[in-house]
Amino acid sequence: MAQPNASASASLFNNPILSDIKILQICEGKTKEYYAHRQILAGQSSYFMRAFTGQFKEATEPTMELHDDDPELFEIMLKFVYTGIYNMNEINNIFHNDISKNVLVPVRLSILADKYDINGILPPAAEHALSKLRALSMGNFGSIKACIECLYGACVQPNTAIGQSIVAAMLKHGKGSTKWGQELEPMILRYPILGADIALHQNKQELLNVQKRKCLECHGVSLFMKNYTAMVWAKCPQCRQTGDLALLE
């Protein structure tokens, strides 16, 4: 999905027209240059907003050096800033011959976007990761484990979109598997945030499985596990009377 005014800024991606800063993206001794625009970058990223408006040299100098980021992922992220488009086909072409690496791409992209506070790319990247993980053959724990190690080795915040995608796929693939349960325990001990995300995911699922019902005696409203009939015969938790509890829309 494109962002507002994306078409106007898309033509300026790596375009010297109106460029007021040049980004030097440096990785493993190689440098790639991008013509950039402070207003566009700052409008999509608090990282760049701070860099361009604070007491940093980037606020006045014509170049900005960024180090150690994967060049392909950095370009995809920067292009998203200008276009607002998450190009899944382009992203899938990275390591397209290596499934084990390809499934990590949206995870690594999320980590990179988090580093630069480019939050707009996080939801589509999480959706992309979930679709890739769901497409794995059942029992393919190696790829899921790699995603867990990649994200939670760098992640310091629970309940991220990408974390919830990984947990959802993990629980689906590992359901009923004793082997996966044995592998999961040491990973939770190693990555406590993974344990927090599992608990949050399970709590959300429980909340999705409840509905509000109104007691026809005391008119109190309580939460009950879902029952897809309009009325149930049960004891009201508030007045303790047994009777009809009406489903509230």
Closest C-alpha to 22, from 72, 67, 61, 71: 61
| Stretch among 106-115, 151-160, 225-234 having the lowest mean pLDDT | 225-234
Q: Does the pLDDT value for residue 157 go beyond 60?
A: yes
φ, ψ for residue 119, nearest 5 deg: -75, -25
Left, alpha or beta for 158 (phi > 0: left; psi -120 to 50: alpha)? Answer: beta
- Residues forming a β-bridge with 242: 235
CA dihedral 79, 81, 86, 89 (to 10 degrees): 10
Name the average pLDDT for the chain.
Answer: 84
Q: Could you give the domains of the chain?
A: 1-85 (3.30.710.10), 90-208 (no CATH), 211-247 (no CATH)
CB 128 within 8 A of CB 91: yes
The stretch 133-141 carries a mean pLDDT of: 80
CB 163 within 8 A of CB 114: no
Prediction pTM value: 0.78
Closest C-alpha to 136, from 112, 113, 165: 165
**b/e code 208-243 from CB counts within 10 Å (16+ = b):** eeeeebbbeeeeeeeeeeeeeeeeeeeebeeeeeee
111 or 170: which leads in pLDDT: 111
Q: Does the pLDDT value for residue 177 go beyond 90?
A: no
- Nearby residues of 25 by Cβ (< 8 Å), 6 or more positions away: 31, 32, 33, 34, 66, 69, 71, 74, 75
Q: Does the pLDDT value for residue 228 go beyond 50?
A: no
Q: Does the pLDDT value for residue 18 go beyond 50?
A: yes
Chain Cα centroid distance, residue 134: 15
The stretch 53-67 carries a mean pLDDT of: 92
| DSSP 8-state assignment for residue 57 | G
d(CA 218, CA 222): 11
Collapsing DSSP to helix, strand or coil, 27 comes out as strand
d(CA 39, CA 28): 29
Closest C-alpha to 232, from 249, 219, 213: 213
